[in-house]
Structure 1
Amino acid sequence: MTTPNPVTPGQYRIVAGFAGFLILIGAALSIFGVFFLKTAFASYGWPSASGTVQAITAPLYRSEYNGSRRTYVYEVTYGYEVNAIAYTGDRYSLGEGSTASRPYDTAREAEQAGLEAYPLGSAITVYYDPQSPTEAVLKRGPNVGTYAPLIMGLFFLPCGVLFLKVLPQLKQPAG
């Protein structure tokens, strides 16, 4: 009596493709994560320039907890000059992107906090990449968001490898 094959050829290909997809995504995220962290740590050595707050974009809606809670944040747009060339930026930090605030419960709170923390026209210090002055931040160094790509990569990569290890146990079907 023969034991029926538990998987069809299509199912086998799906598992193999999924394993390859996880490995590819995991490797890409890991590589990006390493370079992103390297850039974040390098930002500690970036030179500074005097900048000016040009705008506060608030309130920006952000959903948390699967959309069950609404929070609001603000972003800062700033101008700065490097070697007599004017630049505009809105990145707060590497890993946090342009979000310059913690979440607020109301739009009014976010707007008020943004205007208090960064009054329009006020002077600020901007840190820029000396190799690419268009890349600038208000806060240097890594943060939780800077580690996210590497952590996700180090999760997906072993999951893909695990699927590949399980694949031979599925008994590749004929045909």
Structure 2
Amino acid sequence: MADSNKEEKGTRSGVWFLCLIGVSLMLVGAVFGWLMFRSYQQAKQTREWPQVEAMVLRVETEERQISGSPREYRLNLMYGYEFAGRDMTTNRFSPRGSKWTKDESQVNHLKEAYPMGSTHTVWVDPLRPEAGILQHDTKAAGYTLWFPALFVLGGGGMIWGALRKRQTREE
């Protein structure tokens, strides 16, 4: 009888352990799924903002080197536009800003695409008109939501399997 009691406690501990892992997987999947969905929604939303023409006022290459790592570069530009009767200037390239890269030629390519004095379409956030952007973020996060969903499903399956196995042992 003592062995039976010990075996039951071990089985119960195993079920709780598997359920804990399953819940953890589900939480991780849910958090990453939410973050990816939010990123997709933000990228989609900027495509609905009003468009205006803007003129590039300044184009520079910004450079940095952090404690012995390779040099990094990014585009630093300023452009001006009119929105709702007000003149605006900003240096925002995309919603996340201009990316740092180790490849200076990428920045030079962007400088050629946005020379000083050129005009480009800018999408303007109507709630924050000073927040214009020249380039949208990718909507790829929305197309890969299936990946964190696998963690949610896998965690749920792990819980279901652990509880089902316990029920069959009890019968």
Residues 1:115 and 2:118 are matched in the alignment: no
Q: In 2, distance between residues paired with 1:134 and 1:23?
A: 39
**Structure 1 residues 25 and 116, CA, compared in 2 at 3 Å: closer, same or farther?**
same
2:92 is aligned, of 90, 105, 122, to 90
SS in 2 for 1:41: helix
- Higher-Rg structure is 2
Partner of 1:18: 21
2:46 is aligned, of 43, 47, 50, to 43
Q: In 2, distance between residues paired with 1:136 and 1:146?
A: 23
SS in 1 for 2:154: helix
Gaps of 5+ in 2: none
Partner of 1:138: 134
2:152 is aligned, of 148, 157, 169, to 157
Q: In the comparison of the two structures, how many residue pairs are matched?
A: 155
One-letter code of the match for 2:51? S
**Which structure has greater helix proportion?**
2
Q: CA deviation at 1:45?
A: 2.5
Q: In 1, distance between residues paired with 2:157 and 2:26?
A: 10
Q: CA deviation at 1:47?
A: 0.6
Q: CA deviation at 1:160?
A: 1.9
Q: Does the CA contact (< 8 Å) of 2:92 and 2:131 recur in 1?
A: no
Q: CA RMSD in A?
A: 4.1
SS in 1 for 2:47: helix
Q: With structure 2 as the length reference, what TM-score do the two structures score? A: 0.58
Q: Which moved more, 1:136-145 or 1:39-48?
A: 136-145
